[in-house]
Amino acid sequence: MSDDTYRAMTVTGHRRFDLVQRERREPAPGQVRIEVEACGVCRTDELAVDGLRADPQTPLVPGHEIIGVISAVGPGVDDSWRAGDRVGVGFLGGQDNTCQACRRGDFVNCTDQPLTGTGVDGGYAEVTYARATGLVRIPHGTDPLNEAPLLCAGLTVYNALLSGRARPGSLVAVQGIGGLGHLGIQYAKALGYRVAAIARGTAKATLATELGADEFIDSTVTDPGAALQKLGGAAVIVATSAAGSAMSALVPGLGRRGELVVVGADPEPLQIRPADLIFGGHTVRGSLTGTSIENEDNLEFARRHGVRSYNEVFPLSEAAEAYQRMISGEARFRVVLDPNG
């Protein structure tokens, strides 16, 4: 392979992976070129890998938990970004700063924002290109293979917790101890909450305690809503499970004006009795990752408080195996691709 080309793992159809050679190009206006050092494998990647996007026959590079080093800067990019800077890119690939949402400061809901690894090429590659407004500044000295999952999974639970109405010392529940949940427990503890972990079975009970949980609820033997009420009711429940029915069962566990924050995406609908919302003034809402500057806050918080992702690392050439490991739910707990491994 010459310096003019790089390896990329593309997907077409349903889980059809191809390791290809691509020509390096100069970044387009407003973009930078990034030499990828690590890319997390996230459940949202199934939109690309499983053919759930608009045109699954067009080759696309998945991946949106990217850390790398800028190697070229395109025209029109602010001069605060330079070749040699270490940066990250998350799922939201950078706001356009002109749509109605951006004009009101709602950058997360920008209507012209590339979705990294789903609408535009992502990080299952040695090189990727990204809009400068979506860049996250990463300090040199960071271990990219350790921190890559924090750019999406970490930010998702961090912002879900920050946006809630819980005060320090309040009971906060994290449902699911997987790729999102094992991080959610750590963030919740570091934010000063009394943390209840909810899981199916007791296999992860000891781990939950090690991560910082004060209480453990086995939803296979105990109604989780009733269990949370016995503990005083949760100010916030972060639902990371991919099952709508499991999330629905949590609403009765909310305390007065408590919130169920949904971050696990699944086609199964929530089914909630109106009375469970009306009495107690409860709220159910979603939370979608966050902005690039919020991601910088997230990474700094994680470093200061020792929040870490438990990762399994695969070389780029084994992206198909890495994806299967992630989607099976057997990984402990995130999967990361190493393009240089």
User: Is the model's pLDDT at 1 over the cut of 60?
Assistant: no
* Res 264: pLDDT: 87
Architecture of domain 154-286: 3-Layer(aba) Sandwich (3.40)
Q: Which residues of 127-163 are buried (b: 16+ CB within 10 A; e: fewer)?
A: bbbbbbbbbbebeeebebbbbbbbbbbbbbbbbbbbe
Report whether 179 contacts 236 (CB < 8 A). no
pLDDT digits (tens, 9 = 90+) for 210-238: 999 999 999 999 999 999 999 999 999 99
State how far the Cα of 167 lies from the Cα of 254, in Å rounded to an integer. 14
Domain with CATH 3.40.50.720 in the chain: 154-286
Q: Are 85 and 33 in contact (CB under 8 A)?
A: no
pLDDT, tens only, 170-224: 999 999 999 999 999 999 999 999 999 999 999 999 999 999 999 999 999 999 9
Q: Give CATH for domain 5-151+291-338.
A: 3.90.180.10
User: Would you say residue 242 has pLDDT above 70?
Assistant: no
Res. 304 pLDDT band, cuts 50 70 90? very high
- Quote the tokens at residue 261: 């924050």
On the question of pLDDT at 2 being above 70, the answer is no
pLDDT score recorded for residue 52 = 94
CA distance linking residue 329 with residue 41, whole number of Å? 12
* Closest C-alpha among 209, 247, 252, 207 to residue 234: 252
Report the percent of the chain where pLDDT is more than 90.
93
| Residue range(s) in the chain whose domain bears CATH number 3.90.180.10 | 5-151+291-338
DSSP 235-279: EEEEE--S-HHHHHTTGGGEEEEEEEEE-S--SSPP---HHHHHT
Mean of all residue pLDDT scores within the chain: 96
Looking at residue 103, its amino acid is R
What stretches of the chain adopt beta strand conformation (E)? Answer: 5-12, 16-23, 31-41, 65-73, 86-89, 127-131, 135-137, 171-175, 194-199, 215-218, 234-239, 254-262, 283-286, 311-315, 334-338
Residue 144 has pLDDT above 90, yes or no: yes
Q: What is the DSSP letter of 144?
A: H
- Among 175, 166, 153, 186, which residue's Cα sits nearest to residue 283? 166
Give Rg (Cα) of the chain. Answer: 20
Amino acid residing at 224: P
Backbone φ and ψ for 63, nearest 5 degrees, come out as 105, 125
